[in-house]
Chains A and B, each alone.
Chain A
């Protein structure tokens, strides 16, 4: 039994605890805290000298106030294609184990600043994952590897090359008998070619590949069933019914970008007649994922019970389709080990069978091979629209490398990327195995646990600095193209492999070009310019399924359902949404990007279900939930107002989540970590997010979270059984960005069922208070959106209407020619909540585009996160009980950023006119006018304004409070990341979403530049893509000119599901939302007539439905509104 170390800053429950710590004692003894004492002696004298000098300067003619002399340094020889001030875009792709994401990188005078998806690759449609967005930060990470090192001493590139040549010669002599390679998997055909050559040069050597998050189980199952390694590419565009089996196929999985894109295409609903065509998603899952939150029916089930469950579904489907022969009976037998609602299984199977040819089953890659074999068989029986493509067989795994190392005959171990010391299964004891090798060489992009243990560290270049190639999930060839010469003396891994293979050509460009030609490409420059090679995808296969083969591939012990209990818990190891498998542990953007479900930043917590939390609370006597009674039980006011305020679902101290720390024991290892209660988890499943708690990592990742790899064995890579939890008295602050779980019956996210919508297409404006409030536009309510956008009608007010269609009063030139005046285009946005999967790629894309700083955990705890865009996540439950945490929930996402209100409440309170409207309807923010009163943030009903409390950009995390004497070090490297077209904000100013005004202005200027002496100045629809819209894999965000009735955004806003959040405030936001639809199956036992959120709204307002009196609203309010609706005035507009 060993204790993994509980890392992270500790928080003490009391001062006594604190006083016991050595740091505190030391602090008392020193009298002055560290730093203050440094002012003594020489330092103080120096300080006085400096200060005296600056006082002197201040007195001398105020020379310091004058603008300093600046130099302009032009090129000596102007390079081609570089126009200072005009960004250049290059294609490339972000390498990963199985799925290179094709990208286009924006560079400013040679410096990459922003990554966007490459729309030339149609399946991903220009989208990227959240990690791809954040990967640019790693290029400018001050803690990245800058030099190669041999036992602490720096090595020159030439010395490294000599070492590599020597290595080849030594091991070439005995055919590589003493040589072991352990590499991260890669999609690069160039690398595959070099690996083949290395294997030829060293036939006795071992080439093994290892990745912590293996997503190839389905391919191994296909190998067993079909006899060849096949990858399944479901055609979700054809799917009407989807059953997801513990599968997070919408985000963070290989190929998820196209899957999310295609799946949500079947959920786009143009009008109420279209609603019937919507697809239906069943999700059976152990953890709450974005797939589960998109599901129309969701069943909570532990991972270890999935096998028996799918066997039941399989038996039902095969029986209904009369195929499969003996397999059906065998599946029925296996399925018998699990007790689950038979009606759920049956109704689901019936629905799948009825839509055969259009139904797909997809299973999570952490599930055993047998589950995937059954899924293949059911999909076959359903004639599911799935393309199988032949993929290269996987290399042998890390176990082979360990076996050879443990023989003790290995002289050289070459580790190419990855971090096995940190993430290898503990039963392999990799550290000891690595130590067996006489010499170990680690090739990687930054120092980590493995590089520490290696004798030679070769610094590897970032992918934005290297030539290479790769394949997307479907096999399409994409380039890896450098944007910049390596910033440091780092190596391309292709060069290293080429040198080891003894190749004469060692530069990445030539290698990639040669591979391209071998793969049948003809025009390399066109390939680089397009970023994809059309028609280079893997060959599709049409395998014939033999059900008997499936039956023999199934191992019943992999499928048996286990009885779980509070003492026999199931642990799910899942990649962290922050660090993935640990590779992004030093990436500040990822650390601060809230987890889509838990909304935690800068930490990973053990996620447990509410049921388990209650059980542990009662058996172990330690409080997890707060004991407060709901306010309405104690207060007449709230009772009268039906103010069913929910209690917090976790203990909060001054807004900081104070999580109970537990000891979790699994696989003989005890892990100490805080817990976070998440609804929607299977009762006895707990989630351990991997990838955090790194020991050797840069400054950002230091002391963040706990290490879940410490308990992972090779037999329990995805999930482990037999865990137990002991609550402790300790607590730990978690930086949670959304304390509130529920909308409390408020109509923020409006939802309906597809059938409900078909029956009542105008439901969306009958849900909110708007159906009761006076019409926002008064007598002008019937005017079109286009007219309303240009002319700000004041309702029945006597004030003049503000109009953007007329020249400003101080402009004379249009007098008499008013009809010719070019009316500015009016920008607006529509967000389709039916498509949003909550993946948060928009949050990081916005951060990258708009120079949004990170603030660190301590500041997030104080509620000072700076994200311009956030994704609000709400839970709603069938039974609306504000005192209990529900287990079965429906999840709603809402992307929230500045709504650019026409009647912006923030503008009305700004004492210095720092935030005002422009003539395109944008709510602008002039930073240089802002004096930081924060009135605007106070008055914003959407809580989207962010204040620079401290100097986030100029100071390092942890040094914000050092005052004017603190070091102001803005590392040159980090500065290079900034978008030059967006101001880097200073301390004391307010900021918020600008609708990417820099992109609007750039498009305007470009259009006018091209127009020259003509009047062709209107920007065509679709020419401006804002950062969040560009990255969105599901096209949930539309942006454009709302004064043009034919623009995409106008069409979206014309949809009858379109509504404004808190519309009754008459702020008239330019960003509107399209209500979400769910598509339940009425035959299912858990069918619902209305989505829970909608039902909660009805319940809260106590009149079931607005149908009864909705029609008479226009005519005027009758008496009965008086008492029933009095509560609406108390409807606090808290969006958060």
Chain B
């Protein structure tokens, strides 16, 4: 009796195994790569051209965020300070420090300091700082405890669901206007506090957009 199956059938099991291994590997690698915090850059902390410490300036010295990020409450961008802002103090304090050499150089030459971008939304997202900080959303909600960071790192995920979670439940993130720049503020808990936060949402008519046009234009 002739063979029922042709000879090539013998290799089917090994082919299936190889295919399965490949598929599983691809899926695993894919998920690891695209869906874990690494992809959303949580923890990204590049070395900056000047070893500027937010922990020292914003934390210990308690400088207001807006001392350097002057336009955060007026513009869509929160600007990185120009060299002359650094020099307001450092023309007197630590004026010969080697760490500050690039700043002095930039101030004199007019060439910008090439800071490395840490936080970035995609090009098709039009995020606006001013509308958030003026309506009770603190810097800390997206940037984390920058006042404790020696080197600025990416603290939150910045994925679309990160944005939407807050846009759906603003009462969980909103805080009194006067505490917006106080990164150290501790959020009270309990039903009374919850009622207060919901009160902000109601009284200020906070209705963050969930529509596409809110962020994409």
Task: Report which A residues bind B (CB closer than 8 A).
Answer: 62, 65, 67, 69-78, 83-86, 807-808, 810-814, 817, 820-822, 824, 916-920, 922, 924-929, 981-983, 994, 997-998, 1000-1001, 1005, 1008-1015, 1017
Q: List 17 A-B contacts (CB under 8 A).
A: A67-B120, A70-B117, A73-B112, A76-B107, A77-B84, A86-B74, A807-B207, A813-B169, A820-B205, A916-B212, A927-B216, A994-B213, A997-B217, A1005-B128, A1008-B135, A1013-B177, A1015-B203
Known: A65-B33, A1009-B73. 20 other contacts (CB 8 A): A73-B115, A75-B82, A76-B84, A76-B109, A76-B110, A77-B82, A84-B71, A85-B71, A86-B71, A817-B198, A822-B205, A918-B209, A919-B209, A925-B212, A926-B212, A926-B216, A928-B216, A1008-B135, A1015-B204, A1017-B205
Given A70-B117, A813-B171, A1013-B136, does the pair A78, B84 have CB atoms closer than 8 Å? yes
- Within B120-175, which residues are at the interface with A (CB < 8 Å)? 120, 122-124, 126, 128, 130-131, 134-136, 168-171
By the criterion CB–CB under 8 Å, are A74 and B111 in contact?
A: no
Contact, CB under 8 Å: B124 / A74: no
* CB-nearest residue of chain A to B178: A1013
User: A residues within 8 A CB of B107?
Assistant: 76-77
How near does chain B come to A928, taking the closest CB pair, in angstroms?
Answer: 5
Cβ distance A914 to chain B, nearest Cβ, rounded Å? 9
Which B residues are CB-close (under 8 A) to A811? Answer: 168-169, 210
Q: By the criterion CB–CB under 8 Å, are A1008 and B134 in contact?
A: yes
Residue of B nearest to A927 (CB): B124
- Which 7 residue pairs spanning A and B have beta carbons closest together? A918-B211, A85-B75, A822-B205, A73-B112, A78-B82, A85-B77, A75-B82
Q: Is B211 touching A920 in the complex (CB atoms < 8 A)?
A: yes
A residues within 8 A CB of B75?
83-86
* B41 sits at the interface (CB 8 A): yes
The chain A residue sitting closest to B113, CB to CB, is A74
Nearest chain B residue, comparing its CB with the CB of A985: B124
Known: A76-B106, A1008-B134. A824 touches B76 (CB 8 A): no
How many angstroms between the C-alpha atoms of A920 and B214 in the bound complex? 10
B144 → A minimal CB distance (Å): 19
* B-side interface size class: 35 or more
Q: How far is the CB of A62 from chain B (nearest CB, A)?
A: 7
Q: How far is the CA of A884 from the CA of B201 in the complex (A)?
A: 67
- Contact of B211 with A1011 in the complex, beta carbons under 8 Å: no
Q: In the complex the two chains form, what is the Cα distance from A918 to B124 in whole Å? A: 17
For B203, what are the chain A residues with a Cβ–Cβ distance below 8 Å? 1013, 1015
Bitwise, B57-68 to A at CB < 8 A (1) or not (0) is 000000000000
Given A76-B106, A1001-B126, A810–B168 Cβ distance below 8 Å? Answer: yes
Check B130 against A1005 for contact (C-beta < 8 Å): yes
Q: How long is the Cα–Cα vector from A824 to B205 in the complex, in angstroms?
A: 10
Give the residues in chain B near A812, CB-CB below 8 Å.
169
B73-97 residues with Cβ-Cβ distance < 8 A to A are: 73-77, 79-85
Interface of A is mostly: loop
A1012 and B135 alpha carbons, distance in the complex (Å): 5
Residue of B nearest to A1013 (CB): B177
Closest B residue to A73 by CB, please name it. Answer: B112
**Given A918-B209, A998-B217, A1015-B203, A76–B83 Cβ distance below 8 Å?**
yes
> Smallest Cβ distance from B130 to chain A, in angstroms?
5
B190 in the interface, Cβ–Cβ < 8 Å? no
Q: A78–B85 contact, CB under 8 A?
A: yes
Per the bound structure, the CA–CA distance linking A75 and B74 in Å amounts to 18
Q: Are A924 and B213 in contact (CB under 8 A)?
A: yes
A926 and chain B: residue at smallest CB distance: B212
Report if B114 contacts A (CB, 8 A). yes
* Chain B contacts to A: CB under 8 angstroms: 33, 41, 46, 70-71, 73-77, 79-85, 106-107, 109-117, 120, 122-124, 126, 128, 130-131, 134-136, 168-171, 176-177, 198, 200-205, 207, 209-214, 216-217
B135: nearest residue on chain A (CB-CB)?
Answer: A1008
Residue of A nearest to B211 (CB): A918
CB-based nearest A residue for B130: A1009
The interface residues of chain B lying within 8 Å CB-to-CB of A76 are 82-84, 106-107, 109-112
- Distance, CA A817 to CA B201, complexed state (A): 11
Q: How far is the CA of A918 from the CA of B198 in the complex (A)?
A: 24
Q: Which residues of B contact A77 (CB under 8 A)?
A: 82-84, 107, 110
Chain B residues, CB < 8 A from A925:
212
Complex contacts, B126 vs chain A, CB 8 Å: 981, 998, 1001
Residues of A within 8 Å of B170, CB to CB, are: 813
Q: From residue B177, how far is it (CB to closest CB) to chain A in Å?
A: 5
Contact: A72 with B115, CB < 8 Å?
yes
Contacts A77-B107, A86-B75, A919-B211; A71 near B135 (Cβ below 8 A): no
CA distance A822 to B204 in the complex (A): 9
Contact status of A72 and B117, CB under 8 A, knowing A924-B213, A1009-B134, A1013-B177 = yes
B residues less than 8 Å from A822 (CB atoms): 205, 207
Residues of A within 8 Å of B204, CB to CB, are 1011, 1013-1015, 1017
- Given A927-B124, A981-B126, A1011-B204 in contact, is the A84-B85 Cβ separation under 8 Å? no
Query: Smallest CB-CB separation from A65: which chain B residue?
Result: B33
**A1133 smallest CB distance to B (angstroms):** 27
**Chain B residue at minimum C-beta to C-beta distance from A819:** B202
Given contacts A71-B116, A78-B85, contact A983 B124 (CB under 8 A): yes
Q: Decide: A1009 near B131, CB < 8 A? Known: A808-B210, A812-B169.
A: yes
Question: Could you say which residues of chain B place their CB within 8 Å of the CB of A74?
Answer: 79-83, 112-113, 115
In the assembled complex, which residues on chain A have CB atoms less than 8 Å from the CB atom of B76? Answer: 85-86, 1005
Whether A922 contacts B216 in the complex (CB less than 8 A), given A76-B106, A83-B71, A813-B170, comes out as no
Distance in Å: Cβ of B18 to nearest Cβ of chain A: 19
* Nearest chain B CB to A1004 CB, angstrom units: 8
Contact residues in B for A920 (Cβ distance below 8 Å): 211, 213
Contacts of A814 in B (CB 8 A): 202
Residues of chain B contacted by A808 (CB below 8 angstroms)? 168, 210
Most A CB contacts (10 A, CB to CB) among B46, B81, B204, B217 go to: B217
Q: How far is the CA of A997 from the CA of B120 in the complex (A)?
A: 22
B124 near A928: Cβ-Cβ < 8 Å: yes
Given contacts A84-B75, A1008-B134, contact A69 B46 (CB under 8 A): yes
With A83-B71, A811-B168, A997-B213 in contact, is A1012–B177 under 8 Å at CB? yes
Least Cβ–Cβ distance between B10 and chain A, in angstroms: 32
Task: Chain B residues near A1001: list those with CB within 8 A.
Answer: 126, 213-214, 217
Residues on A with C-beta less than 8 A from B205 are 820, 822, 1015, 1017
> Which A residues lie within 8 Å of B211 (CB)?
916-920, 922, 924
Q: How far is the CA of A994 from the CA of B126 in the complex (A)?
A: 15
- Cβ–Cβ < 8 Å partners of A71 in chain B: 114-117
Q: Are A813 and B198 also in contact (CB < 8 A) when A73-B114, A77-B82, A983-B217 are?
A: yes
In the complex, A1027→B128 CA distance in Å?
A: 22
Closest chain-A Cβ to B191's Cβ sits at a distance in Å of: 14
